[in-house]
Amino acid sequence: MSDRQLSDPLRFLLRALVFLALMLALWWLVLLNPLLAGLRLSAELTLRLLPGGSSVSHVTIGPDRNWTFQVPAPAAVVNQERTQQMLAASAGGSGRIKIRSIKVEGAGRFPVLFTVSLPLYWAILLAAPGRRRLLRISCGTAVLAAFALLSIAVYAIRLVGGYFHLAMEGLPGFLMDSAAYLATGVVPYFGPVLVALSLNGELRGLILTGEVAPAAAAFVSAGSRRRRRR
């Protein structure tokens, strides 16, 4: 394998690892709390805008970073016999029980996980060749923030389902499990790479065709100059 064939990918990897370390530090120490606050606000607004959502919808973050979702209780679920028995047992009474909303709490590590895609995305874009970095960083951040919001929605649905002991079976169960798996294990890590490759044509061209676009030429020639000097 020639020097050139190996050096561009390895140089990219080294640059990306350095930027990743810096971006992770920035994210963890400075940006995480504002990001979580923004995510909480967006989640609450989304809940209120959804059909059936109302002023009862709240999302709060506790001091232990756990998230509490207060959502309107779905009538179809509340009126089920099994749910009524469960509610009656916990309320200690009998007869039909009506509830307007429910509160469910979930571990704070998942919402944090949904935002980790951002430092990875920034590291890739900073390490990659290309012009208009700021614009691409802004666009990609917006796309990944939307993914994070979707992931929060999936997380909240799982929590509510768990509260009512709803066992989804068949296709709905498979789809719900898949959505949860994608939200927690795939999107936070693969999303940034796919978004970066979609938005950065120079990086995409460099990887897929080996073509050096004008903006990527500087990235490649910097390595070539260094090799010539040696």
Partner 1 sequence: MARKPSPSHTRAVQAEKASAPPRKNRMLRFLLLFPIFLALGFCGLLIPFLHPAVTGFTRGLVEISAIVIRLFGGSATAHQVVLQSPSNGFAMEVIDGCNGDDVVVLLWAAILAYPASWKQKGKGLLTGTGAIYVINFLRIISLFYLGQYNRQWFEFAHLYVWESVFVLFTLTIFWMWVRRTAAPRGI
CA distance 63 to 164: 26
Told to check if 132 binds partner 1 by CB under 8 A, we report no
Give whole-number Cα distances, 152 to 4, 48, 52, 212, 221, in Å: 43, 14, 18, 39, 43
Told to check if 91 binds partner 1 by CB under 8 A, we report no
How many residues interact with partner 1 (rule CB under 8 A)? 38
Cβ 65 to partner 1 shortest distance, Å: 12
Told to check if 60 binds partner 1 by CB under 8 A, we report no
CA distance 128 to 140: 14
Q: What is the Cα gyration radius of the chain?
A: 23
Cβ 53 to partner 1 shortest distance, Å: 30
DSSP H helices in 103-132: 109-114, 117-127
Sign of torsion over alpha carbons 117, 184, 48, 67: negative
- In three-state secondary structure terms, 200 is coil
The residues pairing with 61 across neighbouring beta strands, listed in sequence order, are 67
Told to check if 186 binds partner 1 by CB under 8 A, we report yes
Cβ 41 to partner 1 shortest distance, Å: 23
Cβ 181 to partner 1 shortest distance, Å: 6
Give whole-number Cα distances, 53 to 35, 46, 73, 150, in Å: 23, 9, 10, 16
Among 3, 10, 98, 221, binds partner 1 (CB under 8 A): 10
Closer by beta carbon to partner 1, 17 or else 135? 17
150-179 binders of partner 1 (CB under 8 A): 174, 177-178
CA atoms within 13 A on the CB side of 162: 14
Other C-beta atoms closer than 10 Å to the C-beta of 34 total 9
Cβ 6 to partner 1 shortest distance, Å: 6
In this chain, which stretch among 1-9, 36-44, 78-86, 217-225 interacts with partner 1, using CB under 8 A? 1-9
Question: Position of tokens 């400075």?
Answer: 30
Closer by beta carbon to partner 1, 37 or else 174? 174
Closer by beta carbon to partner 1, 20 or else 157? 20
In this chain, which stretch among 98-106, 138-146, 205-213, 221-229 interacts with partner 1, using CB under 8 A? 205-213
Told to check if 129 binds partner 1 by CB under 8 A, we report no
Positions in the binding site for partner 1 (CB under 8 A): 1, 5-6, 8-10, 12-13, 16-17, 20, 24, 28, 109, 112-113, 116, 119-120, 123-124, 174, 177-178, 181-182, 184-186, 188-190, 192-193, 207-210
